[in-house]
Amino acid sequence: MAVRVVGLSALLVASLVLPSFAQEANPPLEGDLDTIRAEVDAFIADAQTELESGRFDDLQPTAIAARADGDPERLLEWVADNTLWAPYLGSLRGSSAVLVDGSGNSLDRSLLLAGLLSDSGVPARLARARLSDELASGIVESQTQRWADAAAARDAELPPEGLVVRDRIADTARELEDAVALTPATVPSPADMALDAARDHWWVQFEGDGGWSDLDPLLADDVRPQADATFEPGAIPDDLRHRVIVRVVIERSDEVGREELVPLEYELPVGDSSGFETLRLSFWPGGPLDLGPVDSLEAAAESMTHWLPALQTGSDTITGEWFSNAGLLEPAPALAQGEALSSGVEGLAGLGGSDEAEPPSSVLSGVWLETEVLSPGQEPRRERRELYDLVGPAGRAAGEPVAIVLEPEQERSRGVALLGSTSVLMAPGFVSPLALEHQYLRDLVDSRNAMIALALAAAGSDDERIDPALQQAPVTDLQLWVMSAARRWWSPVADKVFLGSPNVWTRHDLLDEADPDAGGSSHVDIVVNDVRVFEADGELSPQSARLQQGVADTFVEYEISGGLDHSNTFARYADRQNGASEWQILRPDDGAASLPLAGISSDEDSRLRAALADGFLVVVGAPEQAADDSAEWWRVDPVTGATLGIGERGWGQITIEEFYSRLAAYDRAAARSIQVRSLCGKWVLGLIAAQRVAVYAAIASGGSPYPPPVVRVCM
């Protein structure tokens, strides 16, 4: 069947997000383009002034290099004094994320120093050597004290309410730890892992009049061994790079069985770009060439026959292969991405075959987002998240047959699911409050044209410049950045843990199943939250530190929702002493014998069984307390202590339900919260809720005068 890509730029206007009461409270903007532009410019003027104030210079390599006047010794001193050493292998953060997190191993700190030298016009290269146990132990001992000092300084900046939050998290984590009674693990100790990382030592050599000279933030020249090898900064061996592979996996079912196919795969070397990479996954819809006008999302959900997975990363868009509602991969038609995204192309080269509809011999029965984390010295970590599932975990485990011809309501549900989008944050470290505020202000300034376009759309304008301006909006997901900052800011073990491999956090933006044209919901989902423990002591085991961090992560999700999502695992578990729920502990060796639990859906039961089979310990809330036959539960690794709150769909916690309906205005330039659907499934969300200011203020060292980001792209 030949298809055409359907442009959806006119489908979502202001009425698609807010309920009627909100629309009445925030009437459409009035005024011509010049007036709107003036209001927007006034709105961001203070942000631009703040960006130029010099307060964020320590996040800007060029500013750091300029202050040192190109002096290599001064640059070395800055890196040594302003960044911490973290014990992990390989290049994880790269130079930019070392500035955002404030720490890095010897390789990533050397990449930062080499970059600063390059910005100063000084040739630089990396040197590598294997250290003796004595030298490595000296590094670990000295840096342990620096780590503790830095944590104490952060604690001093935490406002009193933040200390209350941290204590609440610690109390809940201790109660959970006492309940599960973890046994001592035989995994490598933090001390052994730190020594292993310290042995692989990197530093910088710069070229001057007398040849190559050494610059090392950790070791003096008279104790450091000779280099075993040197490398150009851009030529680090591939086996030393941390990577994340993102896949879209689909399932095709027919009368014989099921088959999985991969229409899109993208590999991201985490430390190579900006450090904190945000990807947007959406599915561009295609329909028959003879399809008439599509004037609503309801109609689009019912009539689309083909889907093209697309990942947006920065200014680039990576597309995979088309797949059909029959679960078949189709050759991608030739497409000039820029033209397609800006001009609303009505038709593309056909996907082959006849325009005549043929009875399907198979059906698309599932779509998943799969991430695989590959880190030096660690086993691959692969996780899947459900985006659409016709069969369900229980039906798939039982091998239930699938109807090839779907009912109209089933076809509609598939379309609604695939018209949603998912943001993916690849986090190589934590985000400092200063970096969070800087990123917000940059996005605000860069959103100027998109803000004007949103205001025009709210005023009912059909100006042809609206869609192109929306396409230029920043792609950073500030909400996920906030969470990456808050998980350290509120963690009771912030002085003990760090990221030694990429973490993956996602946000799923879904259309309302009952009425796609009425709005939608946003769901935060932790996929990978692994942390490494820098130091353990007699009172805190590595397992306990990881468990406490997992509880903190789940709390952050709850707090980002404004405390409105009581289906969050943390909220339900913390409230159990008030009689809100009963909790049951299921252990890997015998927990399955207690299943199924009354009132829990067969799909949820299947997920619990799968977790137990994978060796996890499960702490699950009483079924009668779980809404819609779903359960909130803790998934605890009994070996490492890694902990995650799990909610509906097996997502690593759902929050911010019906988020769009709680959007609020900030000032007259943002007088109406709106959502616009642009071509090929791209979402532009305007005027993020003023309530979020409280979250930013709690993180940004006791208060920030700035509202949350005014424009967010949720592709």
Q: Where are the alpha helices (DSSP H) in 321-458?
A: 337-343, 393-398, 408-418, 433-446, 448-458
Helices within 447-601 (DSSP H only): 448-458, 466-471, 478-489, 542-560, 569-574
Under a CB-based contact definition with an 8 Å cutoff, are residues 87 and 500 in contact?
Answer: yes
- Of residues 377 and 372, more confidence is placed in 372
The domains located in the chain, with CATH, are 57-239 (3.10.620), 576-631 (no CATH)
Please state, in angstroms and as integers, the Cα–Cα distance from residue 237 to each residue in 154, 199, 275, following that order.
Answer: 35, 17, 18
43 pLDDT above the threshold of 90:
no
Q: What's the whole-number mean pLDDT along residues 598-621? A: 91
Longest dimension (CA), the chain: 79
Q: From CA 458, how far away is CA 177, in angstroms rounded?
A: 51
- Give bridge partners of residue 281 from the DSSP assignment: 311, 422
Rg of the chain over CA atoms, in angstroms?
26
CA 90 to CA 237: how far, in whole Å?
9
Report pLDDT for 153: 85
The band of 37, judged by pLDDT with boundaries at 50, 70 and 90, is confident
Residue 171 has a pLDDT of 93
What's the confidence (pLDDT) of residue 574? 79
Burial label for 564, CB within 10 Å (0-12, 13-18, 19+), is middle
Q: Are 700 and 433 in contact (CB under 8 A)?
A: yes
Stretch 34-39: mean pLDDT, rounded?
A: 72
**Cα end-to-end distance, the chain, whole Å:** 27
- pLDDT at residue 441, as a whole number: 80
What number is the average pLDDT over the span 563-591? 74
Backbone angles phi and psi of 378, in degrees to 5: -130, 155
Note the pTM of the prediction, 2 decimals.
Answer: 0.83
- For 494, the token pair is 């912030």
Give yes or no for residue 550 having a pLDDT over 90: yes
pLDDT of residue 482: 80
Distance between CA atoms of 65 and 193, rounded to whole angstroms? 33
CB-based contacts of 116, cutoff 8 Å, min separation 6: 61, 64, 65, 68, 75, 78, 79
The pLDDT of residue 711 is above 70: no
Strands (E), 390-519: 421-427, 497-498, 503-511
Asked whether residue 91 carries a pLDDT value surpassing 70, the answer given is yes
Q: What is the pLDDT of residues 450-471, one digit of tens each?
A: 777 766 666 667 777 776 776 6
Is 373 strand, coil or helix?
strand
CA atoms within 13 A on the CB side of 189: 10
Which run of H or E residues covers position 609? helix 602-613
282 has which bridge partners? 310, 421
Chain-centre distance of CA 288, in angstroms? Answer: 35
Between CA 514 and CA 519 the distance in angstroms is 10
State yes or no: pLDDT of 687 exceeds 50.
no
| Mean pLDDT computed over 533-552 | 85
